[in-house]
Structure 1
């Protein structure tokens, strides 16, 4: 008899035995492999047996108990002689505890009071009045958690000098890109506070701007041939081939943002009319025509490769549990890996925006107007779209004036 089976006989999970079976059934419903389920249930059985040995009641299970289990010098039955439990093993036991808490068997985790209670009201304000996406809201809150230890919680005492000093300190610690994100979140927070009468008005004007020449750089893009190579590289994959191909085509043909793709829902695809519904920035609802090749790629992925799970998101992870992408950065990772597979060793950039810029550049060079490109990219201002005119060499050649040569003073 192998070690794992022998351990089952020696380890007595006591009253938690039935819940270990339910835990295994829950993992199976999430499409975990039998081997992974066995690893989780082994850790759960060990944890339950350790509770009985140490005399800890189920009613007192909490994070501290899990930490004690992870640190215990194992002399439990079953032939174990461990000086400590591995981190992976203890995480599996912690997953079992979460399952018990969700089932109401173990007490729910204690909620730690936030040191910044105003951030809860700020989150509601961003969602209800600013129409920001949950990802953007989370980013703003992350930045404010960095700033508030220095700003303090006495919002009525905020003044222009203190705001500027905090921004100057952060300017020394980070680059211009991160500083723009930080100052954007701080301006938004100060406007919220001022609107609620919790700080002096117009303090957001005290934040010094992060200097940058607007639209000074050239758009980063790939040639049409390179884009085709990137999409074709999906054929090299054994797992996720159809998913990645559909994602890359959405980026390259429709110029979608990474967040658009990650947040795409099954109900957003209108197969009858061949349209795609998107929720853009500030909840702007738009409809874009779905090209034939993109629609075919989406249909192939949904019918042949997408896991059959009750998830609204179109694109899911390829390993259990099958969930939607937690962050839009996963889309950029898919693009970066495709660039590597395609043999493009020195791309202008490696994120999802590279294919968005490539789509706009290709349209403009094919004779599309700036208005048409701006509509596809969902730009609010034509000035943003005009950025791509810099790489339309054919158009620039028509308006370029000949070099005058030497001109006498």
Structure 2
């Protein structure tokens, strides 16, 4: 068996472990496969077997990535994928030592996530109200309301079924990262949007969130919808579905929500991940003070 096939075998074995034992999501598996396949291709081009990957080889690969214009954040993610893979190889005694043991991520400037204002959110709904295509307008309203109102990830949104909604208790059952289930409160406004969508939804539809042709929504579709509407309603540069999740978390903290409660709603594993939004709230507070206080 040649080197590339051996590398592919180890990669597939590792992905099977992530899927079966660690219950990684489909998106996580796709990301790991993409990152690690790129590394195996690099080794193949250099004529190096996977087992001969040294610290120097990894550093040269990083240098190669940086030289091709890959940003530091993407390089850090690729290194994270490689660390997991090489820990697995070391655990399986395929390699004698982990070449990434002493390699650190490139230093990144911490950027606070951008958020949309409530005025922009209302503008989006007004734009949709002007549409002649009532079904698509209601679908897009519900997409925005669930991404913002329930602070969902785009993958969580796309996997929703009507059975996830507990209307009596006003709760939404969501399967998040690592197939972990959490329950999110549904607000009155989101419930109203949900009912308006059901009113225009075809009784013959086999999918819950789908376009007029009955095709279920998917991440790229949601990204296009969000980008178009944010572009037409606000000046923020971050025109992605995750911006609505960022906005939801920031607005909750702005209005006095408990950090632990926000952590549970977002489905974060670690509180430190949620804490980034406290920095956003503080920065917004500083800007308000500076622009409005006579002594600032």
User: Scaled by the length of structure 1, what TM-score is found?
Assistant: 0.61
* 1:119 lines up with 2:29 in the alignment: no
1:233 aligns with 2:127: yes
Determine the structure 2 residue equivalent to 1:316: 210
- Inter-partner Cα distance in structure 1 for 2:206 and 2:91: 41
Question: Does 1:136 find its partner at 2:43?
Answer: no
**In terms of Rg, which structure is larger?**
1
1:133-161 Cα distance to aligned partner (Å, 9 max, x none): 11121121112221102224733323222
- Deviation per CA, 1:165-184, whole angstroms, max 9, x where unpaired? 22221221122132123222
SS of corresponding position for 1:287: strand
1:377 to 227, 247, 266: 266
Report the secondary structure of 1:286's partner residue.
strand
How big is the alpha-carbon RMSD for the aligned residues of Structure 1 and Structure 2?
2.8
Say yes or no: does 1:267 pair with 2:163.
yes
- Does structure 2 retain, via aligned residues, the 8 Å contact 1:227–1:355? no
Give the C-alpha shift of residue 391 in structure 1.
Answer: 4.0
In structure 2, the partner of 1:61 is none
Taking a change above 3 Å as real, the CA distance of residues 349 and 395 of structure 1, as seen in their structure-2 partners, is closer
Q: How much does 1:332 deviate?
A: 2.3
Q: What is the aligned partner in structure 2 of residue 191 from structure 1?
A: 87
Q: Which runs of 5+ in 1 are unaligned?
A: 1-112, 401-409
Instruction: Name the SS for the 1:387 alignment partner.
Output: helix
Q: How many residues align?
A: 278
Q: What's the TM-score, normalizing by structure 2?
A: 0.82
1:149 aligned to which of 27, 33, 41: 41
| 1:320-339 superposed matches below 5 A | 322-325=215-218, 328-339=219-230
CA shift, 1:347, in A, is 1.6
**Cα gap change, 1:232 to 1:198, in 2 (>3 Å):** farther
Distance 1:391 1:122 in 2: 37
Distance 1:377 1:187 in 2: 26
Q: Which deviates more from structure 2 when the two are superposed, residues 229-238 or residues 250-259?
A: 229-238
Secondary structure in 2 matching 1:338: helix
Question: How much does 1:376 deviate?
Answer: 2.1
CA distance in 2, matches of 1:150, 1:396: 47
Q: Contact 1:167/1:207 (CA < 8 Å) preserved in 2?
A: no
Give the drift of 1:277.
1.1
Aligned partners of 1:136, 1:331: CA distance in 2, in Å?
A: 18
Q: Which residue of structure 1 lines up, in the alignment, with residue 293 of structure 2?
A: none
Instruction: Quote the offset at 1:242 in angstroms.
Output: 1.2
Structure 2: any 5+ residue segments left out of the alignment?
A: 291-296
Question: 2:212 & 2:16 partners in 1: Cα distance?
Answer: 33
Pairing 1:355–2:244 present: yes
Query: Does the C-alpha gap of structure 1 residues 192 and 299 become closer, same or farther in structure 2, counting only changes over 3 Å?
Result: farther
